[in-house]
């Protein structure tokens, strides 16, 4: 037959019949004594018992008030009013502060959650339940993950006060706090035995419903007897400090900063092969397992496609290594204006799982592109060609003839530069050269061209206006070959090159015949070949004299020669064209619009993760 447990008069814990309380050390039995038990003996015993009970409750009050680490004197003073056999003296309060013992070793909240969050992120359909044990009660949060592996709450955080978790606790908040910390108080709460604490607590999840599910207890009250007993047999308890962030909806929203990335995050860019065919590539930014709490940054150097529309898609996606960009999940999709044709440094910062920010240059969220992903990948143009509106234009104008003849040729050229000034998207990028060619005077070599080097549209216009007619000597040929030679010697830029020849008479022939050869020993066919090799496209405006409309040897030579100079196009009759038509035919406004390439190009080599 077992004896009934003996309740300690100091801490009121129950235990087997023993001489000393196992919890507080109070002697439960003593003696025998010699002599009579006097009132003085009884009074001395009562004083010792009162002091012990007061000290016991004061120790619990100091623990509940946060001593020795984060002590709150106001809370201690309030709890001191309800200790047994009080009120305590100032010396007893000071002794309680000094005697306070720190709880077990604690860790920061981030450290306590790190491994559990990693397991949650790695699983497909797991649930992580967090239990926050604090002085005002417990909080319970249930977490899952989305398709990116980002921890998300499955429902709002719920908090339960201690009187709902353990209904036998006192209703008064201060008494309840004192009892939780191991005190008894004036109310004389029934003993918080281990069986009573552990048996059927409410709202405290213990077991998991699935193999991948987990319950993690965040214990802020280490060293408090009642919570310690409550969690004594719980399989997963982590001790954290009382000053760690409270588990509420806001704290849950900040968990992605602690959670590791399930997959690496990459920038979607493009590379263009030698045929001009673009294809998507992934440029790694943050590897799988990276955490935002470490504030990692990533920098990528890209080149903006050379096209009129400078708005680009800056897309960060999540996916396994060497995945196709269209099969990766979009993390952040932005619109960013980047100067076309130039290199740019993009800087990103990881702010959490599923949270990447473009630090520089600034961008604007593109929700429609993100919602329609991977359509932006599917809309890559079949061919990419750098766009440039800049152009080098040279006029070669025959100035041998009457004032009327030269005037209409000059007027067409002036009209063309005026149209360029009005219609060109970037007229400051246009350079214009002017070559006026006049007849040979004699059969000795000499200069027959007046060449003005490349200049602005306005300067070239002034040069054109000043062109004046010169005498016509040879009726069937003009020094076109000298003008072509002068054009070939100009310093053309590596972009669109156009030569507009406006004249009547064809060049001097390369062979002897009815018309003399060039005194400067130029051959128009060789000069055309040289211009073709330099990618100078030629447009011929033929100011054909009526005499060359007759079908004879000279008219046939003129037509075949002008056709060869203008090839692959055909010469245009001056009487049938205007300035705008020549601007359009010569493509002086830049290349025709093409489907834009919306993604940045990789600068300086291939990315680490190139797609097959």
Backbone angles phi, psi at 346, to 5 degrees: -95, 130
Asked if residue 407 has pLDDT above 70, the reply is yes
To 10 degrees, the CA torsion angle through 254, 256, 258, 262? 180
Measured distance CA(332)–CA(150) in Å, rounded: 14
Range 379-403 average pLDDT: 89
Query: Could you please report the per-residue DSSP string of 5-39?
Result: PEEPTTT--EESS-SB-TTT--BS-----SS---H
Side by side, the strands of the sheet bearing 572-573 are: 449-455, 430-437, 391-398, 496-503, 537-542, 572-573
> Taking a C-beta distance cutoff of 8 angstroms, is the pair 565, 524 a contact?
yes
Nearest to 587 by CA among 384, 305, 392: 392
pLDDT at 73: 93
Tell me how far apart the alpha carbons of residues 566 and 581 are, in angstroms, rounded to a whole number.
Answer: 16
- Residue 200's pLDDT band, with cuts at 50, 70 and 90, is very low
Whole-angstrom Cα distance, residue 285 to residue 319?
12
- pLDDT, position 392: 94
> Would you say 574 and 531 are in contact if contact means Cβ atoms under 8 Å apart?
no
Does the pLDDT at position 344 exceed 90?
yes
**Cα 551 to Cα 397, 511, 548, 555, 557, distances in angstroms:** 25, 21, 8, 6, 10
358, β-bridge pairs: 348
Residues 95-124, mean pLDDT to the nearest whole number:
90
Angle at the Cα of 192 from the Cα atoms of 187 and 196, rounded to 5 degrees: 130
Q: To which residue do tokens 């604490």 refer? A: 197
Mean pLDDT of 427-439: 95
CB 397 within 8 Å of CB 557: no
Q: pLDDT class for 592, splitting at 50, 70, 90?
A: low
Distance, CA of 178 to CA of 175 (rounded, Å):
5
Return mean pLDDT, the chain: 88
Q: Is the pLDDT of residue 512 over 90?
A: no
The partner residues of 171 in beta bridges, in order of sequence, read: none
**Which of 163-172, 181-190, 369-378 has the weakest average pLDDT?**
181-190
How much of the chain exceeds pLDDT 90, in percent? 62
In this structure, are residues 507 and 561 in contact, taking their beta carbons and an 8 Å threshold? yes
Tokens of 49: 């018992």
The pLDDT, as a whole number, for residue 224 is 92
**What DSSP string runs through 150-179?**
-EEESS--EEE-HHHHSTTS-SSHHHHHHH
Lowest mean pLDDT among 177-186, 198-207, 294-303, 353-362: 198-207
163 vs 285, higher pLDDT: 285
Q: What pLDDT band is residue 67 in, cutting at 50, 70 and 90?
A: very high
Report d(CA 420, CA 403) in Å as an integer. Answer: 25
Q: What is the pLDDT of residue 197?
A: 59
More confident residue, 359 or 388: 359
**Considering only the top CATH level, what class is 109-166+201-257?**
alpha beta
For 560, the enclosing helix (H) or strand (E) is helix 553-566
Confidence (pLDDT) at 2: 52
How far the first Cα of the chain sits from its last, in Å, is 81
Q: Which residues pair with 455 in a beta bridge?
A: 432
Domain 391-585 top-level CATH class = alpha beta
Of the pLDDT bands very low, low, confident and very high (cuts 50, 70, 90), residue 612 is very low
Q: Is 189 in contact with 175 (CB distance < 8 Å)?
A: yes
Report domain extents, the chain: 6-27+37-99, 109-166+201-257, 265-386, 391-585
For 387, which DSSP code?
-
Q: What pLDDT was estimated at residue 320?
A: 85
Q: What is the mean pLDDT of residues 222-250?
A: 90
Please give the pLDDT value at position 210: 53
Q: Is 54 helix (H, G, I), strand (E, B) or coil?
A: helix
What is the predicted pLDDT for the residue at 549? 65
Res. 507: pLDDT tops 90: yes
Q: How many CB atoms lie within 10 A of CB 122?
A: 15
> 10-24, 150-164, 188-202, 301-315: lowest mean pLDDT where?
188-202
Position 24 scores a pLDDT of 85
* Tokens 């009013």 belong to residue: 81
Residue 599 tokens, joined = 């993604």
Q: Quick one: pLDDT band at residue 546, thresholds 50, 70, 90?
A: confident
Distance CA 260, CA 173 (A): 40
- Token readout for 237 is 């308890």
Mean pLDDT confidence for 68-84: 92
Q: Which residue has the higher pLDDT, 211 or 526?
A: 526
Phi, psi of 166 (to 5 degrees): -125, 90
Predicted confidence (pLDDT) at residue 266 exceeds the cutoff of 90: yes
% of the chain at pLDDT higher than 70: 91
pLDDT, position 102: 82
Segment 418-446 mean pLDDT: 92
Band (pLDDT 50/70/90 cuts) for residue 250 is very high
Angle at 466 between CA 463 and CA 470, to 5 degrees: 120
Is residue 180 pLDDT above 50, yes or no?
yes
Look-up of token digits 């008894």: 184
Residue 209 predicted with pLDDT over 80: no
Question: pLDDT tens-digit profile of 284-304?
Answer: 999 999 999 888 999 999 999
More confident residue, 233 or 564: 564
Q: Report pLDDT for 4.
A: 60
Q: Does domain 265-386 have CATH number 3.30.350?
A: no
Taking only the tens place, the pLDDT of each residue in 458-475 is 999 999 999 999 999 988
Query: What pLDDT score does 603 carry?
Result: 66
Token digits of residue 202? 């409410």
Q: What is the mean pLDDT of residues 592-600?
A: 80
């Amino acid at each position: 037959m077992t004896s009934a447990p003996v309740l300690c008069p100091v801490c009121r814990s129950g235990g087997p019949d023993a001489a000393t309380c196992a919890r507080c050390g109070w002697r439960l039995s003593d003696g025998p004594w010699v002599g009579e038990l006097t009132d003085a003996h009884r009074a001395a015993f009562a004083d010792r018992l009162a002091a012990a009970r007061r000290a016991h409750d004061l120790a619990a009050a100091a623990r509940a008030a946060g001593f020795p680490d984060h002590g709150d004197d106001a809370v201690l003073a309030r709890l001191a009013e309800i200790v047994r056999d009080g009120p305590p003296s100032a010396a007893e309060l000071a002794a309680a502060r000094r005697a306070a013992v720190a709880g077990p070793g604690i860790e920061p909240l981030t450290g306590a959650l790190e491994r559990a969050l990693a397991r949650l992120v790695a699983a497909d359909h797991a649930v992580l339940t967090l239990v926050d044990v604090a002085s005002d009660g417990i909080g319970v949060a249930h977490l899952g993950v989305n398709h990116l592996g980002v921890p998300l709450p499955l429902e709002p955080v719920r908090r339960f006060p201690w009187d709902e978790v353990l209904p036998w606790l006192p209703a008064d908040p201060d008494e309840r706090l004192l009892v939780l910390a191991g005190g008894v108080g004036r109310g004389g709460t029934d003993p918080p035995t281990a069986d009573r604490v552990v048996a059927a607590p409410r709202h405290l999840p213990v077991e998991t419903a699935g193999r991948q599910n987990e319950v993690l207890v965040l214990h802020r009250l280490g060293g408090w007897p009642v919570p310690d007993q409550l969690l004594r047999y719980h399989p997963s308890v982590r001790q954290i400090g009382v000053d760690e962030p409270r588990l509420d909806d806001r704290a849950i929203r900040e968990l992605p900063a602690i959670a590791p990335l399930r997959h690496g995050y990459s920038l979607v860019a493009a590379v263009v092969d030698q045929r001009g065919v673009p294809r998507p590539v992934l440029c790694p930014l943050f590897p799988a397992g990276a955490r935002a709490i470490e504030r990692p940054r990533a920098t990528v150097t890209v080149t903006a496609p050379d096209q009129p529309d400078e708005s680009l898609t800056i897309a960060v996606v999540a996916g396994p290594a060497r995945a196709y960009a269209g099969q990766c999940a979009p993390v952040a999709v932005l619109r960013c204006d980047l100067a076309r044709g130039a290199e740019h440094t993009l800087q990103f910062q990881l702010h959490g799982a599923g949270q990447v920010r473009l630090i520089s240059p600034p961008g604007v969220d593109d929700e429609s592109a993100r919602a329609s992903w991977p359509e932006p990948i599917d809309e890559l143009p079949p061919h990419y060609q750098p766009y440039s509106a800049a152009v080098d234009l040279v006029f070669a104008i025959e100035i041998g003839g009457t004032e009327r003849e030269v005037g209409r040729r000059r007027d067409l050229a002036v009209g063309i530069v005026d149209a360029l000034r009005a219609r060109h998207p970037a007229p400051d990028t246009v350079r214009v050269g002017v070559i006026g060619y006049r007849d040979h005077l004699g059969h000795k070599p000499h200069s027959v061209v007046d060449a003005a080097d490349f200049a602005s549209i306005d300067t070239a216009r002034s040069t054109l206006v000043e062109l004046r007619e010169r005498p016509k000597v040879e009726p069937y040929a003009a020094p076109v070959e000298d003008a072509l030679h002068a054009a070939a010697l100009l310093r053309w830029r590596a972009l669109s090159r156009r030569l507009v020849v406006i004249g009547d008479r064809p060049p001097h022939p390369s062979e002897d015949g009815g018309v003399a050869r060039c005194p400067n020993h130029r051959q128009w066919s060789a000069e055309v070949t040289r211009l073709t090799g330099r990618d100078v496209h030629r447009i011929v405006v033929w100011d054909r004299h009526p005499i060359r409309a007759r079908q004879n040897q000279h008219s046939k030579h003129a037509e075949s020669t002008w056709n060869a100079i203008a090839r692959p196009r055909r010469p245009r009759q001056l009487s049938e064209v205007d300035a705008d038509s020549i601007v359009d035919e010569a493509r002086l406004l830049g290349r025709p619009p093409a489907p834009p390439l919306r993604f940045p190009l990789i600068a300086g080599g291939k990315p680490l993760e190139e797609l097959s």
